[in-house]
Chain A
Amino acid sequence: MRHSSGPACRAWAAHRVRPLNALVAQFLRDWRIALRSRHEMTTPLMFFAVVVMLFPLAISPEPEQLAAIAPGVIWVLALLASLLSLEGLFKRDFSDGSLEQMVLSAEPLFLAVVGKLLAHWCAASLPLVIFAPIAALALSLPLEALSTLLASLLLGTPTVACLGAVGAALTVSLGRGGMLLALIVMPLYIPVLIFGTSATSFAVAGLSVAGPLAWLAVLAGLSLTLAPFAVSAAIRMACEE
């Protein structure tokens, strides 16, 4: 079937207001929803805290051993926590029809998707980054490495949010997409995990952290520009039921 928006109504679209209106409107909407359903922001944090506590009990309380695994543990848990928050990213909008309205918006879907991703990042990843120092202290990560850990988390989580959003959009129309989402998205997280953990362990070892952080920035740039297109395509597919 060929479906196209014909030139019929160019006369109507004369008065565009502010092109970024869609992005800001979508961001504000999702940010308000995230604030209102606060449990969706705190659950990933609780999960993060509880599981961080398990490691000293499981492996050993000695600071040296904990410090060695601290970057890896924090980063792996940040990825797992992001999976929890991704589950509900599109599920609610899909069920109450908002996703359809996004697809049918006069403004390009790309803008709304970027707005939604930014809101998801602020609601899901920022609390993690704010909570990470406490987890780092709990795992006796050397203090000089803390700033690098935060930098790597800040640079890495946009990529995690964007790639996760692609997986979430692909599995939104499936009832129980949880495990499938993890299987689809985890292999794509590997580069972020590698560069994130090595940036922090470089800092622990006192080496220069410019390399891995630069790579994280490259990945963030790539995913922020490319992923919204994939997410838009996936959302259109989900709505075509």
Chain B
Amino acid sequence: MSELSTPSNPRVLSSMPLCRAIGLRCERGGRELFSDLSFTLDRGVMLELRGPNGSGKSTLLRALAGLYPDVDGEIDTCDLAYFGHRGGLSPTLTVAENLAWFSGLAGTTADDVPGLLRRVGVPYPNRPLSELSAGQQRRVGLARLMMTGERKPLWLLDEPLTALDSAGEALVGELIDEHLACGGGVVCATHQDLPVVPGLRIELGH
């Protein structure tokens, strides 16, 4: 993990914003979810999306990730990691194999996997994912986020606190703080309050 920038040596980073959205408008099923939505996410800032179910939080996140093209307006982001409802982990593989696959996709090395897994509280690298509980699988997803944090400065989190116990929520807070300290950015859609004070907040669906 030596290459990964750790809180001890945050590297000097360009001041370009991580994500810029101009005049976003989205209509789904004939209903307008949001319109004329613009924001700029700079480094070290967290944007929190609030709003009732079906207010377009996940749609906006997927649009930022480039996974939902039906949004008018302009989006300009850098490499990003998307942490959605579907964990993106394959149950037949072991935890270590899943992480090895992700590090390959992100083009980074994953040498200190046991340390990473201990950090997120799932210290069983060789256990198949299907044997882990939903909360543990979410924690492995968090380990994935941490591992690719270097290559993907922008994190898009879709209700990260689901299926996590109180220790898990504290863990999420720590990870977000570290990521922001390293000059990353976070866009988080959530219902519960996060242990991190958001720099920006957007209400949807009112």
**Do A and B touch each other in the complex, judged by CB within 8 A?**
yes
Binding site for B on A (CB under 8 A): 1-13, 15-17, 19, 21-22, 24-26, 28-29, 32-33, 36-37, 92-93, 95-98, 100-107, 112, 239-241
CA distance A241 to B85 in the complex (A): 14
Question: Complex: how many Å from CA A36 to CA B92?
Answer: 7
| Complex contact B81–A104 (CB within 8 A) | yes
Task: State whether A8 touches B88 (Cβ < 8 A).
Answer: no
B73 engages A6 (CB within 8 Å): no
Say yes or no for B100: interface residue by CB 8 A criterion: yes
Please count the residue pairs between chain A and chain B whose beta carbons lie under 8 angstroms apart in the complex. 153
Residues of chain A within 8 A of B18, CB atoms compared: 8-9
| Partner-binding segment picked from B31-39, B48-56, B102-110, B162-170 | B102-110
Given contacts A9-B13, A15-B3, 20 further A-B contacts (CB under 8 A): A2-B75, A4-B76, A9-B16, A11-B14, A12-B13, A12-B79, A13-B151, A19-B107, A24-B104, A26-B105, A28-B104, A92-B90, A96-B90, A97-B88, A100-B88, A104-B82, A106-B148, A107-B106, A107-B107, A240-B67
Which residues from chain B sit less than 8 Å from chain A, CB to CB? 3, 11, 13-14, 16-18, 20, 63, 65-82, 84-93, 97, 100-109, 148, 150-154
Contacts of A104 in B (CB 8 A): 65-67, 80-82
Residues from chain A with a CB closer than 8 A to the CB of B92 are 32-33, 36-37
The interface residues of chain B lying within 8 Å CB-to-CB of A100 are 67, 82, 84, 86, 88
Considering only CB atoms, which chain A residue lies closest to B156 in the complex? A104
B85 to chain A, nearest CB (A): 8
Query: In the complex, are the beta carbons of B86 and A96 less than 8 A apart?
Result: yes
- The reply to whether A21 and B104 contact each other, CB–CB distance below 8 Å, is yes
Q: How far is the CA of A155 from the CA of B86 in the complex (A)?
A: 38
Q: A-side binding surface: helix, strand, loop or mixed? A: helix
Question: What separation, in Å, do the CA atoms of A78 and B186 have in the docked complex?
Answer: 49
Contact A9 B86 (CB under 8 A): no
Do B88 and A22 have beta carbons less than 8 Å apart? no
The 6 A-B residue pairs with the shortest CB-CB distance in the complex, in nearest-first order:
A25-B104, A97-B86, A105-B105, A9-B78, A8-B16, A97-B88
A1-B75, A36-B92 given; A106·B86 CB < 8 A: no
Roughly how many angstroms separate A92 CA and B89 CA in the complex, as a whole number? 11
**Shortest beta-carbon distance, B190 to chain A, in Å?**
19
Given A9-B78, A12-B153, A28-B101, verify A105-B11 contact (CB < 8 Å).
no
Interchain residue pairs with CB less than 8 A apart (13): A1-B70, A1-B74, A9-B78, A16-B107, A25-B104, A25-B105, A28-B97, A29-B100, A32-B92, A97-B86, A101-B102, A112-B105, A241-B68
A36, B93: Cβ atoms closer than 8 Å? yes
A53–chain B nearest beta-carbon distance, Å: 32
> Chain B residue with minimal CB distance to A33?
B92
Question: Contacts A13-B151, A98-B90, A106-B107 hold; do A1 and B71 have CB atoms under 8 A apart?
Answer: yes
Residue with the greatest number of chain A CB neighbours at <10 A, chosen from B20, B66, B84, B97:
B66
Instruction: Give the nearest-CB partner of A25 in chain B.
Output: B104
Which A residues are CB-close (under 8 A) to B101? 25-26, 28-29
Give the residues in chain B near A36, CB-CB below 8 Å: 92-93
Question: Which residues on the B side are within 8 Å of A107 (C-beta)?
Answer: 104-107
B90 near A33: Cβ-Cβ < 8 Å: yes
Q: How far is the CA of A101 from the CA of B90 in the complex (A)?
A: 11
CB-defined contacts of B17 to chain A, threshold 8 Å: 8
Chain B residues with CB below 8 A from A9, complex form? 13-14, 16, 18, 78-79, 153-154
Write the nearest CB–CB distance from B151 to chain A, whole angstroms: 5
The CB with the most chain A CB atoms within 10 A, among B79, B101, B102, B109, is that of: B101
Instruction: Tell whether, in the assembled complex, residue B88 and residue A25 are in contact, meaning their CB atoms are under 8 Å apart.
Output: no
Most buried by B among A10, A36, A106: A106
